[in-house]
Amino acid sequence: MLLRHSVFHEALFPADLSGVESFDRDKQDFALRRMVHFSVPPSTVLHDIPLILFDTETTGLDSELDRIIEFGALKIVGGKVVDEFWSFVRTDIELTQNIINLTGITQPMLEGQPEISEVLPKFLKFINGSIIVAHNAEFDMSMLKAAGNRLGFEIQWPCFCTLKLARKALPGLPRYNLDTLAEHFKLTFEARHRAVGDVKVLNGVLQQILEDDELGITTWGDVSDCVVA
């Protein structure tokens, strides 16, 4: 039912969403120039639709000059983790020492890993039919859209931002980064500044907020002011 709101052009993603492992830029140049988008009615209950919590690690903060080097995502249905997505992404951009120190990801770890042209289609299939969620979503969405643009297609997939949501739901905190929210909710990181590690903590934060009956956050419309288009 909900999948009718999700549009993946047949030339880009076949109807069964199988067999698409990577883009061949020479053979599919025309097919790549498509829009990939998703929408749901404001009345959609968040508990009833898959939520994809995702995070990216990157070579830097500039969506045009920098590149994604790691994807991590959890699929949540009814508050439960039902699936996981993770991948390194090989890039020609040399990692700075600052990024290595921050993420623990080194250049040798990316050697032999798939390029974005292989990873991004898999990630888009993973989020099909789902609402996506990220912390400081403007950044992750800018990186995701830029990656799509370089492959020749446009991603229009509204994402609600848990940074905005936390500011709305938890007034008075000194900061709203994941470290502060983890401390507030007594959550621990498996690995900070690694995509899946951050997403697992993000899931804990999100579930605590959604389970707070006093906040009354139950539908997509309830988080409309936290959406990054």
Active site residue 5: no
Q: Which of 5, 37, 184, 193 is catalytic?
A: 193
Angle at 126 between CA 85 and CA 176, to 5 degrees: 60
What is the C-alpha separation between 119 and 166, in angstroms, rounded? 30
Q: Give the helix, strand, coil percentages of the chain, each rounded to 5.
A: 40, 20, 40
- Cβ atoms within 10 A of the Cβ of 104, count? 14
Strands (E), 39-153: 51-58, 68-77, 80-88, 131-134
Residue 106 exposure: Cα atoms within 13 Å on the Cβ side: 2
Taking the alpha carbons at both ends of the chain, their separation in whole angstroms is: 23
Catalytic sites, residue numbers: 193
